[in-house]
Structure 1
Amino acid sequence: MNAARLFISALTISVVSVAFAGPQGHGHNAETGAAGQASDVSRTITVEMHDNYYEPESVEVKPGETVRFVVVNKGGLVHEFNINTPSMHEAHQQEMEMMVAHGVIQGDKINHDRMNMDMGNGHTMKHDDANSVLLEPGETKELVWTFAKPADLEFACNVPGHYQAGMYGNVEFE
């Protein structure tokens, strides 16, 4: 391997390690809320993911409310449901591009073995944050979330190109 290739490989691992290290990526912060307890759930909202849109397109919540989201992928592609701020979604889209580039997301499939790939410093491409689920076509997953104070929040799919095609919705505070 020549020096330039070695440098690019090391740089890629460094960038990915930083990107997957925590809140600056697809994680969350006090502004968005926190993982909720099932015993605190006040209601359940079913969200269907279709290819490049959600149904419903927005949800209303109260500060401090704990909601169970039942997320169903009715599309033909892998999709994500991620609750976050617009700036966090923008940062997370870069991480999702890396997941595609490394073969983790393969159109309509998720390569779970590649999710475990060591990206350096013990970081992997696992998609296991409490504010997000990643689903193959036909899958259903649940996410329980307690919303914090009113903030600029949305739910979105950050698979490359999906957000830009309109696959996001607003979280409105009552």
Structure 2
Amino acid sequence: MKFHTPILAALFGSALLAAAPGASAHGSSHDASHGQKALEVVETAFGRTGDPSKAARTIRIDMSDTMRFSPDAIQVRRGETVSFEIANAGRVLHEMVIGTEAELKAHAEMMKKFPGMEHEEPYMAHVDPGKSGRIVWQFTKPGEYRFACLIPGHFEAGMVGRITVTE
């Protein structure tokens, strides 16, 4: 079992980018359905990789070029596994990244410095225009978490949502 935080993933991703000239984190080379690694279980402060066969429900999240998510507030129960179906109705690439508020802010700052940074974790999905992606996540700890689009300018424009995990 691997343990990650979005910040470590971002730092690791920037190291990979430096080692791989021409790599692009947000280019068309990303499969819109990625975001769920088949065998790797990632543990974070806000949960762990979810098993798609144990998803209690599916929540559709729409993204648009108005720099908003719809819905932008979600409530789940501790222990619940949710399949997020993420649809990009816009004309530009968007992403959904789940994390704590502090982690997302730090990752957004890193993305400003390294806009082509390569990164891929099961709590994020990069979705090309007109496509959809999926994240399956189990929320193991109660609290308030966030999801955001960390493409430079999108987070700052307010492309952020809230996930409340109750007991």
Tell whether the structures are fold-level matches, with TM greater than 0.5. yes
**2:48 aligned partner, one-letter code:** A
Match of 1:88 among 74, 80, 103: 103
Q: Hey, what does 2:12 align to over in structure 1? A: 21
Is the 2:47–2:137 contact (alpha carbons within 8 Å) kept by the matching residues of 1?
yes
Question: Judging changes above 3 Å, is the alpha-carbon distance between structure 1 residues 134 and 98 closer, same or farther for their aligned structure 2 residues?
Answer: farther
Q: Hey, what does 1:130 align to over in structure 2? A: 122
Looking at secondary structure, tell me which structure has more strand per residue: 2
Distance 2:44 2:108 in 1: 21
**1:55 aligned partner, one-letter code:** S
Deviation per CA, 1:71-106: give whole Å up to 9, x if none. Answer: 011112111101101111111113322443xxx4xx
Whether 2:137 is the aligned partner of 1:145: answer yes
Structure 1: 5+ residue stretches without partners: 1-16, 23-27, 105-124
Larger radius of gyration: 1
Match of 2:159 among 128, 146, 167: 167
Match of 1:47 among 58, 61, 66: 61
How many positions carry a matched residue from both structures?
A: 130
TM-score by length of 1: 0.68
Distance 2:163 2:9 in 1: 28
Looking at secondary structure, tell me which structure has more helix per residue: 1
The alpha-carbon deviation at position 59 of structure 1 amounts to 0.8
Identity of aligned residues (%): 35
Q: Determine helix, strand or coil for the equivalent of 1:45.
A: strand
Distance 1:160 1:29 in 2: 26
The alpha-carbon deviation at position 65 of structure 1 amounts to 0.4
Q: Determine helix, strand or coil for the equivalent of 2:143.
A: coil
**2:56 aligned partner, one-letter code:** S
Deviation per CA, 1:44-69: give whole Å up to 9, x if none. Answer: 00100012000111111000100000
**Divergent runs of 4+, >6 A:** none
Q: Determine helix, strand or coil for the equivalent of 1:21.
A: helix
Q: Determine helix, strand or coil for the equivalent of 1:80.
A: strand
Q: Hey, what does 1:12 align to over in structure 2? A: none
Is the 2:139–2:165 contact (alpha carbons within 8 Å) kept by the matching residues of 1?
no
**1:127 aligned partner, one-letter code:** H
